[in-house]
Chain A
């Protein structure tokens, strides 16, 4: 950690926090600036706190990288087990989304391969006076 940066200097963007805060309050309720500031600090400290606790769980389980189970165990350890069910649903959605992304990339790669195979097949079948196309990457 540098001497000039502390955990509390790493705030989340104000617009993001305002959105999250507003969605937790009824429409007609406002929040004082100092309270918003408190939420900002609390959010950053919470990330640090949860990550550190999850890290302890990881070490206890004998691995160095924080895995999803470590995060869930950490929430139990800090008295926030209420979040666990929702987070499991969130995680499923996240994993599904990641798989979708990978599939799109894989499909694009597959299509490229099929195109290349078709091209090389044409080169073999057609007569030699057809100029051979350079192979694409």
Chain B
């Protein structure tokens, strides 16, 4: 059952301690109530569900049964609310391109063969 379809139990699949830890890294955040922590946790599950499904759409277009990194990069590029992930899941560059650095786009960290 997808995270979005699971019967509402009032629990999250993500460990609360880890969610809290990530939030605590932000020194601008003063405090977060337990209900808010829970909502952020569930929202993250819905987000993962959404990201994976959108990525899969691109796999399907390519008639593949494996969701690949490049599908996810395409999803991030094409869906506006995913803009915040632009640096986290950047598009890959072809190895065939000349290695000379350009002033245009910075070379992304992940390089795969097309």
Contacts and interface: CB of A to CB of B under 8 A. Distances in A.
A48 B48 contact: no
Nearest to B47: A46
Interface residues of A, number: 64
A1 interface: yes
Given A20-B45, A42-B51, A47 B8 contact: no
A29 B13 contact: no
A137 B112 CA distance: 67
Contacts of B59: 29
Most chain A Cβ neighbours within 10 Å, of B4, B22, B30, B31: B22
Contacts of B67: 25, 29-32, 35
Contacts, number: 201
A136 interface: no
Chain B: interface size category: 35 or more
A71 B3 contact: no
Nearest to A47: B22
Interface in B56-78: 56, 59, 65-69, 71-73
A42 B48 contact: yes
A136 B70 CA distance: 66
Contacts of A122: none
Contacts of A17: 48
Interface of B: 1-4, 6, 8-11, 13-15, 18-19, 21-23, 25-36, 38-49, 51-53, 55-56, 59, 65-69, 71-73, 80-81, 84-85, 88-89, 110, 112
